[in-house]
Structure 1
Amino acid sequence: MIEKTFVTIAKYQYSSEAQIAKGRLEADGIKVFLADNLTIDTDPLVSNAIGGVKLKVYTEDELEARKILKSIKAYSLDNNGQPIECPNCKQHHVELFSSIDSFKSLLAFLFGILTFTLPFHTRYKYVCEDCKSEFPVKKEYPFKGKRI
């Protein structure tokens, strides 16, 4: 008897994101297993500590599953619905992420932990998946100078 093994092909911060990917893969006939989803559903704050929800497939389905996930991945868009371009390599594989990389962000994070509230100040940046460069989010005000 050949023993089938699983391989992790993606990680998600929340189980709802993993469930969407799981449903898409299962619709194409790929068997999927989620790891740590129940733990994160119980306490979402531990997601980063345990590495998120792991989406696993059989080893023989890995290439096909990765191809399907890549085809449905959404990247960041600007206010006009156009893909955001990396200023370094000019590619469009750009994602938004939040970080705590300034003293003000760190203080807000610590205050949130001490008072059991959500942090009210985080910095958002874009990161390019191709060249790994990070760049700031441009603040666009579509109604600036216009009266509503």
Structure 2
Amino acid sequence: MSPTFKTIAKFQYSAEAQIIKGRLESEGIEVFLSDHLTIDTDPLVSNAIGGVKLKVLAKDALRAQHILETINKYSVDDNGNAIHCPNCNSSKVAMFSTIKDFKSFFSFMVGFLFGTLPFYAKDKYRCDDCKTEFDIK
């Protein structure tokens, strides 16, 4: 009887999947990736083929899902402590990049025109509960 696989997560890029794969393998779970080579070759097809699929043996699926749920999806400070929203004190805070000032916009345009990465990006934090945007001092 051949082993059955279960897809437990999908990722847009293979780098994200490789990180989670390493975490699961460190817990002794055998992990398989599908479509990662195709997406590495042409990242623009990721949405068309459904992203990189992270698969485990069906017998390990429940344990793997539990490990995925324990991974912190929100921002932490340099000491590993959760960042809290100054408005509602929630710890569901995520970092995002914004282009709201002239320096960010100019950097974006230069990067877009010359095919390079932007030189300057302003990072802020947004609370998922109250949608407050703030900076960390």
- Structure-1-length-normalised TM-score: 0.60
The AA in structure 1 aligned to 2:114 is T
**2-side partners of 1:55 and 1:127: how far apart?**
28
Q: What residue in structure 2 maps to residue 57 of structure 1?
A: 56
**2-side partners of 1:12 and 1:3: how far apart?**
26
Alignment of 1:25-36 (within 5 A): 25-36=24-35
121, 133, 136: which one pairs with 2:134? 136
- Assess, with a 3 A threshold, how the Cα gap between structure 1 residues 20 and 124 changes in structure 2: closer, same or farther: same
Q: Say if 2:125 is the partner of 1:126.
A: yes
Alignment of 1:46-85 (within 5 A): 46=43, 50-51=46-47, 53-58=52-57, 61-73=60-72, 75-78=74-77, 82-85=81-84
**2-side partners of 1:36 and 1:134: how far apart?**
37
Q: What residue in structure 2 maps to residue 11 of structure 1?
A: 11
The AA in structure 1 aligned to 2:6 is F
- Structure-2-length-normalised TM-score: 0.64
| Structure 1: unaligned runs, 5 residues or longer | 141-148
**2-side partners of 1:99 and 1:136: how far apart?**
12
**1-side partners of 2:21 and 2:109: how far apart?**
35
| Structure 2: unaligned runs, 5 residues or longer | none
- For 1:116-144, what per-residue CA distance to the aligned partner results, in whole angstroms no more than 9, with x for missing partners? 21112323222345x27252222x3xxxx
Number of residue pairs aligned between Structure 1 and Structure 2: 133
CA RMSD across the alignment: 3.6
Identity across matched positions, percent: 44
**1-side partners of 2:107 and 2:30: how far apart?**
42
